[in-house]
Amino acid sequence: MTPGFTGQIAKETRVRLQTSAYPPARVEKFCRLVERIEREILPHDVIVRNHYTKWFERGQFDRTDVRHFLTQFSVFSNFFIVAQLLKTINAPTLEAMHASKEILMNELGVTFRNPDRKTPAPETAGQDLEGAVESEGTVDGSVFRFSSAHFEWLLRMTTHLGLSFREVGKRRHATKSTVFFCDELARIYGSEDPSTALGASFAVENWAAAGFWKELIRGLQVFKKREAPGLPLGFFTWHDIVEDQHAQHTWDELEEEFFAHEDVDEDRFISGGVEMLNGVLSFWNGLNSDRLAREPLRKVAS
Ligand SMILES: [Fe+2]
Q: What is the spatial distance between Cα 288 and Cα 52, in angstroms, rounded to a whole number?
A: 5
Q: What is the structure's pLDDT at 171?
A: 98
Q: Are 137 and 115 in contact (CB under 8 A)?
A: yes
Smallest CA-to-CA distance from 110 within 135, 85, 143 is with 143
Distance 133 CA to ligand 1 centre (A): 13
Distance 21 CA to ligand 1 centre (A): 37
Whole-angstrom distance between the N-terminal and C-terminal Cα of the chain? 46
Q: What is the structure's pLDDT at 2?
A: 60
Smallest CA-to-CA distance from 162 within 213, 231, 218, 225 is with 231
Q: Which residues are found with C-beta within 5 Å of the ion, ligand 1?
A: 150
Distance 201 CA to ligand 1 centre (A): 15
Distance 150 CA to ligand 1 centre (A): 5
Q: What is the pLDDT along the chain (302 residues), one digit of tens a residue?
A: 466 678 888 888 888 888 888 888 899 999 999 999 999 999 999 999 999 999 999 999 999 999 999 999 999 999 999 999 999 999 988 999 999 999 999 999 998 888 776 665 655 555 566 556 777 889 999 999 999 999 999 999 999 999 999 999 999 999 999 999 999 999 999 999 999 999 999 999 999 888 899 999 999 999 999 999 999 999 999 999 888 888 778 888 899 889 888 789 999 999 999 999 999 999 999 999 999 999 988 888 76
Distance 170 CA to ligand 1 centre (A): 16
Distance 78 CA to ligand 1 centre (A): 9
